[in-house]
Amino acid sequence: MPPPDCASVESERYLPYYRDVLLSAYTDKEIGFYGVRNNSQDGHIVLSNGVGSLRLVLSAKGQLRVCSERKNARGIALCQL
């Protein structure tokens, strides 16, 4: 069962409730928001399972978008290179 909030997690490692979803790739730098205008450090996270992979992309302007790595998935477009 997932924790009710992030503060209740006792360690820095979070074990997901759904074991078939993997964090398969990510940006090697820290991703986060900063500054008065909520700019961000750009980067990406890739979540995968047996069906496919989704890339979560955070831009330097603080915009978050999602795209599919290999094929269209439930209305989510393919990632553009």
How many angstroms separate the Cα of 65 from the Cα of each of 4, 15, 72?
A: 25, 24, 15
What integer pLDDT is reported at residue 11 of this predicted model? 64
Q: Is the pLDDT of residue 32 over 70?
A: yes
Name the residue among 39, 76, 34, 30 with its Cα closest to residue 55: 76
The mean pLDDT of the chain is: 79
In whole angstroms, give the CA distance from residue 72 to residue 50.
Answer: 15
Give me the domain span that covers residue 36.
19-81
Interval 3-26: pLDDT, tens? 666 666 666 666 667 778 888 888
In a domain, 43, yes or no: yes
User: How confident is the model over 18-36, as a mean pLDDT?
Assistant: 80
Amino acid, single-letter form, for residue 42: D
pTM of the model: 0.68
In a domain, 42, yes or no: yes
Task: Give how many domains the chain has, as a whole number.
Answer: 1
